[in-house]
Copies of this chain bind each other. A is one copy, B any other.
Amino acid sequence: MSHIVGARQAQKQRTRQALMEAALVLLENQSLSSLGLREVTRAAGVAPTAFYRHFRDTADLGVALVEEALGGLHAVIRATLAATGDSAVRIDAAVGLIARHVHAYPAHVRFVTRERHGGVRRVRDAIGGQLGLFADEVAAWLATQPDCAAWSEDDRRMLAHVYVDHMVMTASAFLEAGPYGEERVEAAASLARRQLRLIGLGRRHWLD
């Protein structure tokens, strides 16, 4: 493996990824504030000192995990919002999207829901920042919708906040339901859909 351009950077990114994946596995049974540096390097198969080539400390690793878990979702959310459709099929699509995402990246979802109110301030803030951006995008989309055009900006942000919070809670519910069978997952989906329907009804009559 020589004379390949960027072979060094490629290998570095590889171990960096190995560290992040090892951390993600370990974080399924504990929280970030108890995650040890040595523990991570051991699981990743590198020397403890190699950790410092990539992260200052485990909190730094956590911030990188937030970026990995949520950074790529903005495009997905924007695309989902742009899709048109009846409100009922909208709800089905949104809940189905969440269900599939949780099924595909359970460890990332668990990490975000666990550390959103977790013991490490920098990670908490990073998650809060990303969710705030999600709310911004939803609020901007709401401004383009006929039924919310006449709302105040504050009220649109309030509703966007509700949608984002509901998305996170639904993801968490799918995560808890997952190991207990498919009917539990379907119950969580049904719950989420009805809650969205309730919110949609409130939205429709907000200006009464």
Query: Chain A 161-173, CB within 8 Å of chain B: the 1/0 string?
Result: 1100100010010
- A163-208 residues at the B interface, CB under 8 angstroms: 165, 169, 172, 191, 194-195, 197-206, 208
Cβ–Cβ < 8 Å partners of A119 in chain B: 27, 29-31, 34, 114
Q: Chain B residues with Cβ under 8 A from A172's Cβ? A: 117
Give the number of copies in the complex.
2
**Contacts of A206 on B, CB cut-off 8 Å?**
198, 201
Mark interface residues in A3-39 (1 if CB within 8 Å of B CB, else 0). 0000000000000000000000001011111100000
Q: Is A155 at the interface (CB under 8 A from chain B)?
A: yes
Q: How far is the CB of A56 from chain B (nearest CB, A)?
A: 18
- Which single member of B34, B159, B205 contacts A31 (CB below 8 Å)? B34
Among B27, B31, B158, B200, point to the contact of A194 (Cβ < 8 A): B158
Q: How large is the interface on A (under 10, 10 to 19, 20 to 34, 35 or more residues)?
A: 35 or more
Instruction: Report which of B117, B155, B159, B195 forms a contact with A117, defined as CB distance below 8 A.
Output: B117
Task: Tell me the residues in window 68-84 of chain A with beta carbons closer than 8 Å to chain B beta carbons.
Answer: none
Is A130 positioned at the interface, with any CB of B under 8 Å from its CB? no
Given A158-B198, A161-B191, A201-B208: 17 more A-B contacts, CB < 8 Å? A29-B119, A30-B119, A31-B32, A113-B117, A114-B118, A117-B172, A155-B194, A158-B194, A159-B198, A161-B195, A162-B195, A198-B203, A198-B206, A199-B199, A199-B202, A201-B202, A205-B205
The 9 residue pairs across chains A and B that have the minimum distance between CB atoms: A34-B34, A202-B202, A31-B119, A198-B202, A201-B202, A30-B119, A33-B34, A31-B31, A30-B33
